[in-house]
């Protein structure tokens, strides 16, 4: 009789805890946080894919023609390396190198289009209004707002004043399509040296 009561009690306990994870805790969503968001794209489409450095995406230039864009490298430097009194909110000057190539030429956007951003959780930083990078004025030949020549890869560098390392780089074209790259929390890749060489010295 006692054995039957014990079995009944065990069955009742399992019916209560059976839908929980190990240790009686609710299961944790195992989906990586950076892939859960749906980024609005052209005509209501979405681009949930988060790319790594070295991966290419096709966006569209100002005339609507395909343009291949690839982030090649990133580097973090002290945003206050040359001037400790700058009115900045971010600790780091982030240099992002990327290439653009198009069969027809064209440009991806102008500075006033505000099409390059950094995000991490609820925080978002815009590239267009950061004018105090340590290498400011030294990398004009790498402006991301240039009109590129047909079938010639163009190397660009953009900079952002970010509060922490890591996060996501977002590039949006004229037509609302958005590409995202996951940024590591340390320097990676290539192409940032024209900027970082002037992180502590004048050009």
List, for residues 9-39, the tens digit of each pLDDT value.
Answer: 444 443 433 333 333 333 222 223 223 233 3
List, for residues 120-129, the tens digit of each pLDDT value.
Answer: 988 999 999 8
Assess contact for 165 and 201: CB atoms under 8 A: no
Average pLDDT over residues 33-52: 46
């Amino acid at each position: 009789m006692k054995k039957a009561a014990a079995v009944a009690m065990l069955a009742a306990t399992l019916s209560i805890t059976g839908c929980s994870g190990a240790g009686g805790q609710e299961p944790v969503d195992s989906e990586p946080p950076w892939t859960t968001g749906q980024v609005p794209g052209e005509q209501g489409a979405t681009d949930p894919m988060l790319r790594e450095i070295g991966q290419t995406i096709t966006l569209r230039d100002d005339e609507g023609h395909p343009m291949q864009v690839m982030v090649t490298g990133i580097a973090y430097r002290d945003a206050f390396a040359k001037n400790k009194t700058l009115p900045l909110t971010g600790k780091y000057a982030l240099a992002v190198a990327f290439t653009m190539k198009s069969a027809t030429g064209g440009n991806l956007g102008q500075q006033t289009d505000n099409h390059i951003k950094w995000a991490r959780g609820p925080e978002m930083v815009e590239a267009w209004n950061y004018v105090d990078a340590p290498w400011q004025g030294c990398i004009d030949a790498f402006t991301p707002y240039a009109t590129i020549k047909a079938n010639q890869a163009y190397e660009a560098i953009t900079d952002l004043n970010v509060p922490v390392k890591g996060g996501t780089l977002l590039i949006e074209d004229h037509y609302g399509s958005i590409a995202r790259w996951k940024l590591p929390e340390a320097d990676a890749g290539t192409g940032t040296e024209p900027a970082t060489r002037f992180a502590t010295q004048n050009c």
